Amino acid sequence: MKKRNIWVILTGFVIGVAALALTELGNPGNMGFCIACFIRDISGALKLHSAEAVQYVRPEIVGMILGATIVSILAKEFKPRGGSSLMTRFVLAIVVMVGALMFLGCPLRMMLRIGGGDLNALIGLVGFIAGIFVGTLWLRGGFTLKRAYAQSLTEGSVLPAAVAVLMALAAFLPSLFAASESGPGSAHAPILISLGVGLVVGGLCQRSRFCTVAASRDAMLFKDFSMLWGFLAVIVTSIAGNLILGKFHLSFADQPVAHTDGIWNFLGMALVGWGSVLLGGCPLRQVILAGEGNSDAAVTVTGFLVGAAICHNFGLASSAKGPTANGMIAVIAGFVILAVIGLANRERTV
Amino acid sequence: MNMDIVDARGLLCPEPVVLTQRAIKNGTAALTVLVDAVAARENVTRFAASRGYAVSVSEQNGEFKLELSKK
């Protein structure tokens, strides 16, 4: 087997096992990892929104960013770059967050939810793939956010440094931050374990370029199936692990941190898929790129943070009870925004 | 010598591969692709190999010059 495939499958396997372990140690159900939910929790901890159930400085995110930073430095791949349509990326990130919080999870959590037997996530997956397909049509049509340029070491280090400081403050001065006393935000593995697991997964994702969107996107665009192996590895590991732990429950109803509205699960993930293709990678990949010194990705991660706050401040995020009317309007608006951004950034070179 | 050059420096994947794909669509015998990220270098190389091109890579100042030639 090709070396790249081995890295990708190893990453998928480790993510699957790590997610199970984190859930066993306290993270919410089927939420060993969720880039969207975890950034949303950080947004809450920073008091950017006041949804009391989802406030916690998630060490996994910090670990993943710093893991990517450390490994990319060791591999001589830490390259500060940026300057590619920053505000457009910021807006795209907000749109992706609206879709993710409609569904209740980023693509990675969607895979983990499938691994736990959550059939709603299977509908999300169909939407996700449909959204990616639409995104690839734009890429084929000449969509581009224009090139990035080399940036200073300082510029590339801002986000990794900021999250390191955030983590230190959260560990030693926790009273600065809001912290959930009940709900998903209160459910978490011990800080050091979360941080350590995040570091390992972040480092592995840096090496393997793991991306949940690239899996389907590259298969559609180039018939390149290498990333799909990693995608499947997460799901297979997760299903196997949940079966072993007796946590596999195949159903639509009563799944942890999930709702059963099929249409909106589909549309939410379609928005995430399409938006992520325009951004050049899924939320997980953006976190890793940000760790590698890519300030475009750092702006995108900041967009996720702000997007999460918008979702909770304006009642756009779903809950276990289902989606909200505001959330539905926002998802539709999100599709319109993606179409406008797509139309405005076409460049025919042939 | 073929003078076709795809300048994909500063572009995030998959754009370098999309541009390469577009450039070789007509069965071009030789093509030069410029990229500046290791991931882009790997992806373009893998794509070109899958389409029957030999790829030689040279690096200068953190930028990569990929010379594709039809096998």
Would the pLDDT of B1 be above 60?
no
Return the residue matching tokens 């990035």: A148
Closest CA to A153 of A303, A338, A295: A295
A80-122: pLDDT as tens digits: 999 999 999 999 999 999 999 999 999 999 999 999 999 999 9
Nearest beta carbon to residue A84 from set B10, B14, B47: B10
Cβ contact (<8 Å) for B10 and A81?
yes
Domains, chain B, ordered by start: 5-70 (3.30.110.40)
Q: What is the predicted pLDDT for the residue at A45? A: 98
- Chain B residues lying within 8 Å of A150, measured CB to CB: 36, 62
Helix (H, G, I), strand (E, B) or coil at A106: coil
pLDDT, position B71: 84
Going across the sheet that includes B53-60, the strands are B5-7, B30-35, B63-70, B53-60
Rounded to whole angstroms, the maximal C-alpha distance in chain B is: 32
Q: Residue ranges of the domains in chain A?
A: 3-344
CB contact under 8 A, B50 and A224: yes
Query: What is the Cα–Cα distance from A108 to A160, expressed in whole angstroms?
Result: 22
Average pLDDT, chain A: 97
Q: Chain A contacts of B42, Cβ < 8 Å? A: 4, 209
User: Using one digit for the tens of pLDDT, what is the confidence trace for A35-74?
Assistant: 999 999 999 999 999 999 999 999 999 999 999 999 999 9
Question: How far does A347 lie from chain B, in Å, by closest CA?
Answer: 11
Q: Phi and psi of A149, rounded to 5°?
A: -125, 160
CB contact under 8 A, B12 and A223: no
CA neighbours closer than 13 Å in the CB half-sphere of residue A195: 14
Strands B63-70 and B30-35: antiparallel
d(CA A125, CA A120): 9
How crowded is the C-beta side of A58, counted as CA atoms within 13 Å? 32
Look at residue A1 in the predicted model and tell me its pLDDT: 67
> ipTM score here?
0.92
Q: Are the beta carbons of A213 and A77 closer than 8 angstroms? A: no
Contact residues on chain B for A292, CB-CB shorter than 8 A: none
* B22/A349 CB distance under 8 A: yes
Nearest CB among B10, B17, B47 relative to A149 is that of B10
Model pLDDT, residue B28: 87
**B5-64, pLDDT tens digit by residue?**
999 999 998 999 999 999 998 888 899 999 999 999 999 999 999 999 999 999 998 899
| Best CA proximity match to A63, nearest among A190, A176, A234 | A190
| Sequence-distant (≥ 6) Cβ neighbours of residue A73 within 8 angstroms | none
Position B61 scores a pLDDT of: 86
CA distance A234 to chain B (A): 22
Residue B39 is nearest to which of A148, A209, A296, comparing CB atoms?
Answer: A209
Distance from CA of B2 to the nearest CA of A (A): 17
What are the respective helix, strand and coil percentages of chain B, to the nearest 5? Answer: 30, 35, 35
SS3 content of chain A, % helix, strand, coil (to 5): 70, 5, 30
Q: How confident is the model at residue A348 (pLDDT cuts 50, 70, 90)?
A: low
Per-residue pLDDT, averaged over A292-307, amounts to 98
DSSP assignment of A135-195, as one string? HHHHHHTTB-----EE--HHHHHHHHHHHHHHHHHHHH-GGGS---SSSGGG----HHHHH
Q: A271: closest CA among A141, A110, A144?
A: A110
The answer to whether B13 contacts A280, with C-beta atoms less than 8 Å apart, is: yes
Q: Is B6 helix (H, G, I), strand (E, B) or coil?
A: strand
The token pair at A350 is 């042939």
Question: What element of type H or E holds A196?
Answer: helix A191-208
Shortest alpha-carbon distance between residue B62 and chain A (Å): 9
Mean pLDDT of A288-303: 98
Of A227, A232, A233, A229, which Cα lies nearest the Cα of A215? A227
